[in-house]
Amino acid sequence: MWKKHGLIYEPSGEYFWNKSHASVPTVYQLDNDRLRIYFSSRDAYNRSHIGFIEVLAKNPREILYKHDKAVVAPGKDGMFDDCGVMPSHVIEVDNFIWMYYLGWNVRNTIAYHNSIGLAISRDGGVTFEKFSEGPLFDRNYIEPYYSATPYVLREGGLWKMWYLSNTEWATFNNRSEPRYHIKYAESRNGIDWNREGIVAIDYKDANEFGIVRPCIIKDGGIYKMWYAHRNLQDYRRNIASSYRIGYAESKDGLSWTRIDSQVGIDISETGWDSEMIEYPFVYDHKGVRYMMYNGNTFGASGFGYATLV
């Protein structure tokens, strides 16, 4: 069971890049006492940028520092990320910090398109330089739609990635809606990925229309995954269809058993996470398991945290 500790951060709009939202909280542990939390905020034109705050590790509601600049910004016109960027996972590679992120393009026939990009920091994660103007992941002949929100584990010489994979678009209330689940890929260098369309977490029924933001911890010999899932019907406003956090386990990271009933966290009766909860990021610190997550309206109400008890 997870014990909620409340809201950590909601943007106040003091900078041009954070007029609204604090979505997809992504944790990087600076040291034994401090955490850096990267997140995505939107400017006045609804374009998302990546910024960060630093918090006390044992009590993340105690904010120690707010960075005043976006560390990753939308790309040039025509690039895969020209309409916005959002963080997904940050890992240390040698003396650098790699940030896997997703880029946004607004579309005509459908609502949008996402791809996976990489940005690299050489100063401990304060500034980042994009690895390339093009994405690491885009659609191909195996996956003809889009990919997003990766989580990466390095085990020996093998890099393992679990990521959102869009499989179709549908129309509901005259609006295009994407359907996506979670797939798996491998790499030897973290840049060039072997994608064979392996499904890790599949739809539980015909009504489920979104499984997103996997976060994996290997606990002993068991892979444990948290993610968000939703239905199709009016999920933006209908609490019964909106995002909830799910849970699955695997012995090999490939074949997973969903046990959502054991996740131990749900929406609150009132407040910032009373309509939906989504985009979990789970990590351990000094023997305690923490979960950062978003609440109502996909991060418009900010992000908070819970601990496993």
Contacts of 15 (CB under 8 A, 6+ apart): 51, 68, 69, 70
Question: Which residue do the tokens 């892979």 mark?
Answer: 223
The 10s digit of each residue's pLDDT in 138-152 is: 999 999 999 999 999
Three-state SS at 296: helix
pLDDT on residue 233? 92
How would you classify the pairing of strands 208-219 and 222-231?
antiparallel
pLDDT above 90 as % of the chain: 99
Q: What pLDDT does 133 receive?
A: 95
pLDDT given for residue 81 in this prediction: 98
Residue 308: phi and psi, rounded to 5, are -80, 130
pLDDT confidence of residue 145 = 97
pLDDT at 112: 97
Residue 36 has a pLDDT of 98
Q: What's the confidence (pLDDT) of residue 238?
A: 94
- Say what the pLDDT of residue 201 is: 98
For the four alpha carbons of 215, 247, 21 and 42, in that order, the dihedral sign comes to positive
The contacts of residue 278 (CB under 8 Å, 6+ apart) are 212, 213, 228, 230, 243, 244, 245, 293, 294, 295, 298
Q: What is the pLDDT of residue 73?
A: 98
Backbone region of residue 271 per phi and psi (left: phi > 0; alpha: psi in -120 to 50; beta: other values): left
Tens digit of each residue's pLDDT (9 = 90 or more) over 257-286: 999 999 999 999 999 999 999 999 999 999
Contact 193, 186 (CB under 8 A): yes
What backbone phi and psi angles, to 5 degrees, belong to 307?
A: -125, 150
pLDDT per residue as tens digits for the range 79-134? 999 999 999 999 999 999 999 999 999 999 999 999 999 999 999 999 999 999 99
- Say what the pLDDT of residue 49 is: 98
Tokens linked to 208: 């489920």
Domain count across the chain = 1
Q: Which of 10-14, 100-104, 185-189 has the lowest mean pLDDT?
A: 10-14
Whether the Cβ atoms of residue 12 and residue 101 lie closer than 8 Å to each other? no
Maximal C-alpha separation, the chain: 50
Q: What CATH number is given to the structural domain containing 271?
A: 2.115.10.20
pLDDT at 213: 98
Burial 48-79 (b: 16+ CB within 10 A, else e): bbbbbbbbebeebeeeeeeeeebbbbbbeeeb
Q: pTM to 2 decimals?
A: 0.97
CB contact set of 51 (below 8 Å; sequence gap of 6+): 15, 17, 18, 38, 39, 41, 67, 69, 70, 71
**Residue 48: what pLDDT?**
98
Q: CA quadruple 293, 97, 286, 37: dihedral positive or negative?
A: negative
The range of the structural domain enclosing residue 123 comes to 2-308
Mean pLDDT of 178-188: 98
- CB neighbours of 309 closer than 8 A, spacing ≥ 6? 1, 2, 3
Helix (H) or strand (E) holding 279, with range, is: strand 278-285
The confidence score (pLDDT) of residue 289 equals 98
User: What is the chain's mean pLDDT, rounded?
Assistant: 97
